Amino acid sequence: MATTTESHTAPPAPTGAAARPPRRARRPRRHGHALPYLLLLPATAVLALVLGYPLVRLVIISFQDYGLRALFTGVITWAGLANYQAVWQDPQLLPVLARTGAFCAALVAGTLVIGLLVALMMARLGPRMRTAVTLCLITSWAMPPVAATLVWQWLFQPVYGVVNWLLTQTGLFGDLTQHDWTTSALSAFAIVWLLVVWQSVPFVALTLYAGLSQIPRSYYEAAAIDGAGAWTVFRVITLPFLRPILVLVTILSVIWDFNIFTQIWILTQGGPGGGTTTLGIWSFTKAFSGNSFGQGAAIAVVSVLLLLVLTLYYVRRLVRSGEDL
């Protein structure tokens, strides 16, 4: 039986236009790649004008001999690093730095702990009670700092203060009707701490509650089936999900609490005996009470640099926590 083999011959090579290699498809040009930057340009210009110019002006004043003579004569001399040297050699520098850091840490810790507890409570409440708590938080958060501080001052006022009257009625601490809370640095910081934490907790609580609402319920159901306790569920499920949000609110709290000025100035004005003087208060008194605007500006620049270092540290942690998720 004869077998036939088929011969496979290659097709003839194309000639002319058919011999050219196919052209690569051109990618469409992105005509709108600059549109997002154009849309951000107005906001960037406003921020540069509102925030950038005062900051640049502050740095310039910190290198000048700017005092009463400069205000009246208009003649400003260049001082170089003299203002920074005076601030560095001032004996108040280290106590003020330590006081500012300790007070900022206490404020941030209290705000985060209480805000987290309020957020966990809101997650367990029903819709009506949760709405009521949310309205109370927003109302306290929306209150202007000056108005809130004046109300706080009235609450802790000697003779007519509501807090003194209530504590006296309990009989636990004796007669506190005449007690002045601003005569001691510790008690003065305590009432300022209560005021600032009361104003800061709403933002932290609402932000953390928003993060809690995004955790899938299936994780908690699986933990309940495995018999995990409340602390284990919080440590293994809730806390890892909230870590990026906790870092974010920590950054914002550090920025806000490090620069606190209004509450301290209205309640104590840095007293008694400078016991509640932070960097913000020290910069203000140096510039306007001591008539040394150059040194006041130098203190403010140092505050900005310290805050920048802290912010960069927490931003790096925020980026790393986002990459780990």
Residue 221 has a pLDDT of 87
CA 323/CA 325 separation, integer angstroms = 6
CA 308/CA 304 separation, integer angstroms = 6
Domain 93-324 -> CATH class: mainly alpha
What φ, ψ does residue 78 adopt, rounded to 5°?
A: -85, 125
What single string gives the DSSP state of each residue in 197-221? HHHHHHHHHHHHHHHHTTS-HHHHH
CA 277/CA 47 separation, integer angstroms = 30
Residue 248 has a pLDDT of 87
Residue 3 has a pLDDT of 45
Per the CB < 8 A criterion, the answer to whether 215 and 120 are in contact is: no
Residue 6 has a pLDDT of 44
Which token pair is 204? 């932290």
Per the CB < 8 A criterion, the answer to whether 156 and 163 are in contact is: yes
pTM (two decimals)? 0.81
Residue 8 has a pLDDT of 47
CA 284/CA 257 separation, integer angstroms = 16
**DSSP letter assigned to residue 184:** S
Mean pLDDT for back-to-back runs of 10 residues, the chain (325 residues):
45 51 54 79 88 88 83 80 91 92 94 95 91 92 91 89 89 84 90 94 94 90 86 89 89 89 91 88 89 90 89 78 57
C-alpha 106 chain-centroid distance: 14
| Residue for token pair 């702990």 | 113
